[in-house]
Amino acid sequence: MYLFCRWRLLLPQATIDMTRPTHALINWSNFRQNYQLAKSKAPGSAYAVIKADGYGHGMVRCARALGDADGFAVACVDEGLLLRQAGIKRPVLVLQGAYDADEWQIASAHNLQLVVHHAQQLVERELATLENPVDVWLKINSGMNRLGIRATEAEPLMALINDDDNLELTHVMTHFADADLAQPEAFSAAIEIMKAQDWSLPLSVSNSAATMTQLAAELEGDGSVSRPGIMLYGSSPLATQSATDLGLKCVMTLKSQVIHVHDVKAGEKVGYGGDWTAEKDSRIAVVAIGYGDGYPRQAPSGTPILVEGHRCSLVGRVSMDMITVDISEYADIQVGSEVELWGENIDVDEIARLCNTIAYELFCQLTPRVKRVAAEG
Ligand SMILES: *Cc1c(COP(=O)(O)O)cnc(C)c1O
């Protein structure tokens, strides 16, 4: 025990700044502008979706950056509680609602609004003693077939909620499976499902894609609440239009530095498995980022990497802490040269496509080793 304490004294203090150059610059001013764009596209109010640690940007920092947002949406009660513990006072909606009676109680104590998407949640509610009334959003399944009850089965649940003095049914919501218009017929069918009923309550239907296309506008009015997520972070929700086309501003720029430069001869291979072979004598830069930071291991040779302002190509496999880049064309690149993996100059959606994924996943899989640093503004 004594030894243990001695050792602890010898460890560096947590306050020492970490010096690795790999970081994500976050432009909070652009984040706010994207939120304003989302608001301008929908008639009612807009809850900023900041689940999953604010899509990897830092949930509490997102909430603080949008101090006057109409509200926030998170996935689970735990996330809502973190917001309240950080002193966030704006409305907070929990998209998956309460998992059990304890969560009903916590939501009630901390003024979290809960989605009810299944009858079992109301059974759990019966087991809880609520401190304060809880605002409830009833979720309808409009074709995603994930969470939500069928519109035709909503009536009895609405009656149960309305009969409960401690529950206030405030909104009817749905989440579209095809708002990005990959399947326009499925999207139209979802609109019809929501229109078939007179809900007599404000609706909440639009995610980022529906916000940008405004194709769900007939369901919305002054009281409706949109739920923009990915667009706030500067990635396009639509496959056919880029973030720039849509007027979205870049929020995250993922940066690192060159830590080593060396030459390889024609025919030599680079990286694990020798996946890439130099066709001619080449110069290779090693950059301090890898899948241990969340840079996708699926990124193929040829993925653009901005080094010292030049668009270069990733070569060879992404390893845990490093990547290798062909810099043969640019003599001014050296150890310490700045690198951008995505952000201001390299569209995160382009990187996502090359990796057969979406920007949502690239953002969410950034690991804690990547410091999030506020950019100017
Ligand atoms: C995540 C989520 C959103 C936000 O979706 P984006 O595509 O990021 O805009 C909206 N509503 C629900 C129910 C969600 O789960």
pLDDT at 8 over 70: no
Of all protein residues, the one whose alpha carbon is nearest to atom 4 of ligand 1 is 229
pLDDT tens-digit readout, 353-368: 999 999 999 999 999 9
pLDDT tens per residue, range 88-133? 999 999 999 999 999 999 999 999 999 999 999 999 999 999 999 9
What pLDDT is stored for residue 185 in this prediction?
86
249 lines ligand 1 (CB under 6 A): no
Give distance in angstroms: CA of 226 to centre of ligand 1: 10
pLDDT at 15: 58
**What is the Cα gyration radius of the chain?**
24
Instruction: List beta partners, residue 276.
Output: 270
User: Ligand 1 centroid vs 75 CA: distance in angstroms?
Assistant: 9
Nearest to 93 by CA among 37, 141, 46: 46
> What does the DSSP assignment read for 44-106?
SEEEEE-HHHHHTT-HHHHHHHTTT-SEEEESSHHHHHHHHHTT--S-EEETT--SSHHHHHH
- Which long-range contacts link 17-20 to residues 24+ away (Cβ below 8 Å)? 18/371, 20/288, 20/369, 20/371
Q: Residue 239 pLDDT > 50, yes or no?
A: yes
pLDDT of residue 186: 87
Which pLDDT value is given to residue 116? 98
- Assess whether the C-beta atom of 230 lies below 6 angstroms from ligand 1: yes
pLDDT of residue 179 exceeding 90, the answer is no
What is the C-alpha separation between 2 and 323, in angstroms, rounded?
43
**Residue 361 tokens, joined:** 């996943």
Is the CB of 175 within 6 Å of ligand 1? Answer: yes
pLDDT digits (tens, 9 = 90+) for 17-31: 678 999 999 999 999
Q: What is the mean pLDDT of residues 38-46?
A: 96
Per the CB < 8 A criterion, the answer to whether 181 and 187 are in contact is yes
Residue 51 annotated among the catalytic residues of the structure: yes
Token duo for residue 8: 């602890």
Mean pLDDT value across residues 215-233: 96
pTM of the predicted model as reported, rounded to 2 decimal places: 0.94
Label residue 3 by pLDDT band (50, 70, 90). very low
Q: What is the mean pLDDT of residues 330-342?
A: 98
Question: 169 — alpha (psi -120 to 50), left (phi > 0) or beta?
Answer: beta
Confidence of residue 13 (pLDDT cuts 50, 70, 90): low
* Percent of the chain predicted with pLDDT > 70: 95
Mean pLDDT to the nearest integer, 242-262? 98
Catalytic residue at 272? yes
Whether the CB of 227 sits within 6 Å of ligand 1: yes
